């Protein structure tokens, strides 16, 4: 069997093809998968180990590709998440455009097919982002000015904020405390009256900001422990993965003990109930919510709604 080229471009193309192929051929043997892609078993295992570290932005256990191939058969457990359409930000499109420039310069002039394809893609990207030589701030300067004024005058703010967790724009009354930076992103630490707790807001997600007449600090009527959403659940399988998914800390000795048992009851917490619901949905029925009952009903309703989608005629074969 002829060995397939292992150039970076060829490897990347193979990795991109592997994900949808495995999604539609769950449980395929490693040797059969290697034969399908005309590579050696060793090279395929190297590809699978690379995919295991890839995923969607966020790169938590919820977004990383969840591969299983230790038994000699390959499966992807979170294929439904990977199928969700993702929109690129302007910054990501700029990075791709710059990368295409480097790629175009590295190609031989006789590869007119690739040069034309790259030129066409560059034209489409440029139509979306405009002139990439023109630098524009990601944060509205008027919003920043209003926030700075609120901090100086010790006044409250009303903001319209785009929550990336819920993908919703909500109106909030907040008491701004401090401007800062988190991994190169401008953020505002504030007390949110809607959430009844301290929150960090990304300035580039602030859609509107207005000063309020009140200069009184919004009081915190709840204790810090009451701000958390809490749930108890019984874990029946995939204990290590579940502990990582819910960010539960445990040492190696405890992990080994847990791995030999089933029906472990644990308590999980989060500042976001939506985050808890998504994580319980992604455990593939390996966990059972014991309390609160309202959260169990919410997860059950979302699971039922997902099952109802399969009754849609567009999904029938």
**209, 187 contact by CB (below 8 A):** no
Query: At which residue do the structure tokens 């319980």 appear?
Result: 280
Residues 263-294 pLDDT 10s: 778 888 877 777 788 888 877 777 888 888 88
Instruction: Give 163's Cβ-side CA count (13 Å radius).
Output: 13
Q: How far apart are CA 100 and CA 179, in angstroms?
A: 36
187 with 246, same domain?
Answer: no
Lowest mean pLDDT among 102-106, 180-184, 253-257, 301-305: 253-257
The answer to whether residue 54 is domain-embedded is yes
232 with 309, same domain?
Answer: yes
pLDDT of residue 194: 79
Query: 63-76: string of b/e by CB count within 10 Å (b at 16+)?
Result: bbbbbebeeeebbb
**177, 211, 245 — which closes off a domain?**
211
Token representation of residue 293? 């009952």
The answer to whether residue 306 is domain-embedded is yes
Q: Tell me the angle at which helices 293-309 and 273-281 cross, rounded to the nearest 10 degrees.
A: 50
More confident residue, 209 or 58: 209
For residues 179-198, average pLDDT: 82
Count of other CB atoms within 10 angstroms of residue 97: 16
The answer to whether residue 221 is domain-embedded is no
| Whether pLDDT at 82 is above 80 | no
290 with 243, same domain?
Answer: yes
Token representation of residue 26? 């769950």
More confident residue, 272 or 25: 25
The answer to whether residue 1 is domain-embedded is no
More confident residue, 195 or 82: 195
151 with 194, same domain?
Answer: yes
How many structural domains comprise the chain?
Answer: 4
The answer to whether residue 97 is domain-embedded is yes
The answer to whether residue 107 is domain-embedded is yes
94 with 170, same domain?
Answer: no
For residues 68-78, average pLDDT: 81
For residues 166-171, average pLDDT: 81
Domain assignment of residue 19, given as a range? 8-82
Residues 101-158 pLDDT 10s: 888 888 888 888 888 888 888 888 888 776 554 444 477 888 888 999 988 888 899 9
The answer to whether residue 24 is domain-embedded is yes
| Whether pLDDT at 94 is above 80 | yes
Q: What does the chain come to in residues? A: 317
108 with 156, same domain?
Answer: no
pLDDT of residue 298: 86
Torsion of CA 277, 283, 284, 288, to 10 degrees: -70
17 with 63, same domain?
Answer: yes
The answer to whether residue 206 is domain-embedded is yes
């Amino acid at each position: 069997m002829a060995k397939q080229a292992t150039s970076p471009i060829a490897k990347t193309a193979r990795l991109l093809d592997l994900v949808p192929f495995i999604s539609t051929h769950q449980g395929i043997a490693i040797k059969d998968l290697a034969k399908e892609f005309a590579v050696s078993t060793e090279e395929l295992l190297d590809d699978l180990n690379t995919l295991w570290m890839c995923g969607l932005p966020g790169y938590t256990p919820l977004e990383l590709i969840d591969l299983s191939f230790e038994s000699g058969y390959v499966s992807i457990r979170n294929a439904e998440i990977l199928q969700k359409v993702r929109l690129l930000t302007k910054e990501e499109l700029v990075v791709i455009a710059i990368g295409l420039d480097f790629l175009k310069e590295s190609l031989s002039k006789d590869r007119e097919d690739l040069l034309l394809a790259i030129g066409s893609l560059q034209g489409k990207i440029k139509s979306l982002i405009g002139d990439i030589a023109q630098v524009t701030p990601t944060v509205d300067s008027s919003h920043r000015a209003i926030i700075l004024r609120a901090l100086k005058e010790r006044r409250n703010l009303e903001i319209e904020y785009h929550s990336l967790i819920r993908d919703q724009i909500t109106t909030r009354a907040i008491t701004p405390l401090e401007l800062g930076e988190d991994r190169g992103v401008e953020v505002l630490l504030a007390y949110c009256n809607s959430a009844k707790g301290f929150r960090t807001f990304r300035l580039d997600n602030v859609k509107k900001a207005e000063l309020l007449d009140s200069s009184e600090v919004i009081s915190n009527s709840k204790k810090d422990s009451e701000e958390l959403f809490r749930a108890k659940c019984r874990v029946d399988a995939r204990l290590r993965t579940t502990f990582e998914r819910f960010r539960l800390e445990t040492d190696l000795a405890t992990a080994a003990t847990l791995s030999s048992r089933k029906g472990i009851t644990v308590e999980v917490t989060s500042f976001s109930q939506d985050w808890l619901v998504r994580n319980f949905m992604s455990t593939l029925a390996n966990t059972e919510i014991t309390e609160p009952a309202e959260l169990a009903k919410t997860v059950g309703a979302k699971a039922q709604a997902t099952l109802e989608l399969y009754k849609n005629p567009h999904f029938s074969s």
